[in-house]
Structure 1
Amino acid sequence: MLGMLKGLWQYRHFVLSSIRNDLVSRFSRSKFGGLWMIINPLAQVAIYALILSNVLAAKIPGIEDKYSYAIHLMAGLLAFMLFSEIINGCLNLFISQGNLMKKMSFPRITLPAVVVGSGLLNNALLFIAMVGVFLLLGHQFTFDMLWLIPLTLLLAVFALGIGLIAGVINVFLRDVGQALPIVLQMWFWLTPIVYPITIIPEEHRHWFDLNPLYPIVDAYHQVLLYGKSPDVSALLGVSIASLILVGLALFVFRRASEEMVDAL
């Protein structure tokens, strides 16, 4: 573990330059450049907001703001998009970088580090755009929004643990690469992002306790929608699970590194 961290520190400039190059290359031939990364999710939110907030008059219970549903949706999407981007980025990472892994000697841990770094950068840019939309809608912020920093780090660690294990297994069993996007799609709809949990009958809400993503998304809603601090006790379980998961992922990754090169 310490060896991987040391290698990551020694190759930190490689990681940073790779993150920059990934961002530049993704939009190098586009006139709007990185704006597309922000336009796409905001367009989705605008459609939901127009239909549900205006046409169907959807509101979040306890909030009189006409656009409370749109803010609820944007907060949930901000969390889930980071989660899914890191997992999807790790899923085919070692397959797409197979030639690099075979020809060059470098700390392989830098590859998932680039994925996480790119995901965090993209998420930060999306957050800035969403803040602008929130202000246009007249939404007020509080200092509790600073909770987003540890929440984002927790979410990134949780996603890295899942993505790294899935990426390693996908090298040997390619069915994982086909199945995981379906699982993520189901996970999205089983998490209160598009809908508030209050529409679920109270006797069935305990099932959401089995969803480790729910406490994090709920914390995003508490911070961005209600302007309150999240329930730390509710996040304790997923925090411990995330640390155990990422530790297991790094162990599996280290043990399987050489076998992955042979399989690729």
Structure 2
Amino acid sequence: MSIVKNIFSHTHALRLLIVRELASRYRGTILGVFWLFLQPLMMVVVYSFVFSIIMKVRIPGMENSYHFALYLMTAMMPFFAFQDALLAASNSLFVNSSLLHKSTLPVIFLPLVPMLTTVVTETIALVIIVLATFLLLEQVSYYLLLLPFLVLIRLSLSIAIGYILATLSVFIQDLRQALGLLLTMLMFLTPILYPVSMIPGEFIPVNNLNPLYHLLDAYRAIILRGELPGVGLVYVGGFSVVFLFLGIYFFQKTIERAREFV
């Protein structure tokens, strides 16, 4: 509760830091923050063209020529947000080493700010995907109102793991080098590029333990299938909350020691 009060007492500073973080990514570019909209839009167009027009990839039950591209993007965009949050958190103490030692801002903000910015990029991407689903598949559902809840769960899971990575990366610097590879492996091990029906039966129980599978399938259920997510989302929500407390607790216990190494 003290952490929550601390965050709310610095909401103005937190908002300014998020704006600064986003602006710094596109400083010096001609299009500026317009890239926030252009990047996901171009990905939807390119994936739709490559997989639907050139490769003509189909999934049983999804016969529309654009369905596979949207099927892919609906899961990839939240995963990219998750990936970006973890990579940013693992570098946050190194990038902000001066703030870590001199700033009066709560040190818990340093990993939090870049992880919160992923909500902005993910939201823009999801809006574009929802519009593309409506235009290409002529499909829309009232269940789309549940999307902010999914984004919140995704963010909670990112923050939980991100806080652990923030200090672990200080003590084990090889972790920062390996994290990109580990996240790539996770993407291929999670049914993102292929349907869960392609997983051999003996590996299904292992896949069901993967919280990202249930979370990303919930995005697909709401956007593409127009239905409520399965009960696996309850498992993901509970897992995220428990892990969030563990992540924050770990960060608090290790941050003072981590200061000595940054």
Partner of 1:249: 247
2:219 matched to 1:259? no
Post-superposition offset of 1:54 = 2.2
The aligned counterpart of 2:74 is 75
Instruction: Trace 1:128-167 onto structure 2 (pairs within 5 A).
Output: 128-167=127-166
1:110: how far off? 1.9
- In the alignment, the residues of structure 2 paired with residue 171 and residue 248 of structure 1 have an alpha-carbon distance, to the nearest angstrom, of 18
Mind listing any 5+ residue stretches in structure 2 that lack a counterpart? none
8 Å contact 1:145–1:224 — kept in the other structure? yes
Contact 1:11 1:110 in 2 (8 A): no
The residue type paired with residue 218 of structure 1 is D
Whole-Å separation in 2 of the counterparts to 1:44 and 1:58: 17
Structure 1 counterpart of 2:232, from 231, 234, 259:
234
Which string of whole-angstrom CA distances, capped at 9 and with x for unpartnered residues, describes residues 214-257 of structure 1?
000111111111111101x2122222221221111111111122
Instruction: Please name the residue that 2:177 is paired with.
Output: 178
State the number of aligned residues: 262
Q: Which runs of 5+ in 1 are unaligned?
A: none
Letter in structure 2 aligned against 1:16: R
Residue identity matched to 2:242: I
Q: Does 1:90 align with 2:106?
A: no
Amino acid at match of 2:250: V
For each residue in 1:108-140, what CA deviation from the matched residue of structure 2 results, as whole angstroms up to 9, or x when unmatched? 122233123211111112222223333331431
CA deviation after TM superposition for structure 1 residue 201, in Å: 4.0
**Residue correspondence of structure 1 range 20-59 to structure 2 within 5 A:** 20-59=19-58
Q: Helix, strand or coil for the counterpart of 1:225?
A: helix
CA–CA separation in structure 2 for the residues paired with 1:129 and 1:57: 22
Q: Would the aligned equivalents of 1:4 and 1:107 in 2 still touch at CA under 8 Å?
A: no
- 8 Å contact 2:116–2:155 — kept in the other structure? no
**Residue identity in the other structure for 1:160:** I
Instruction: Say yes or no: does 1:219 pair with 2:218.
Output: yes
What's the % identity of the aligned pairs? 29
Alpha-carbon distance between aligned partners in 1 of 2:225 and 2:134, rounded to the nearest angstrom:
15
For structure 1, which segment, 133-142 or 163-172, has the greater mean C-alpha deviation from structure 2 after superposition?
133-142
| Worse-superposed segment, 177-186 or 234-243 | 234-243
Once structures 1 and 2 are overlaid, which stretch shifts more, 215-224 or 54-63? 54-63
How far off is 1:37 after superposition? 3.3
**What's the CA shift for 1:156?**
0.8
Q: Is the 8 A contact 1:45 1:73 kept in 2?
A: no
Query: 1:49 offset after TM fit, Å?
Result: 2.5
Q: TM-score, normalised by structure 2?
A: 0.92
Q: What secondary structure is seen at the aligned counterpart in 2 of 1:145?
A: helix
Deviations 1:155-185 (A, max 9, x none): 1111111111011111111011111111101
Contact 1:15 1:113 in 2 (8 A): no
- Separation of aligned partners in 1, 2:71 and 2:197: 13
Where does structure 1 differ by over 6 angstroms across 4 or more consecutive aligned residues? none
1:35–1:135 CA distance, 2 compared to 1 (3 A): farther
CA-based RMSD: 1.8
Kindly provide the amino acid, as one letter, of the partner of residue 76 in structure 1.
A
1:41 positional shift: 4.0
Letter in 1 for 2:7: L
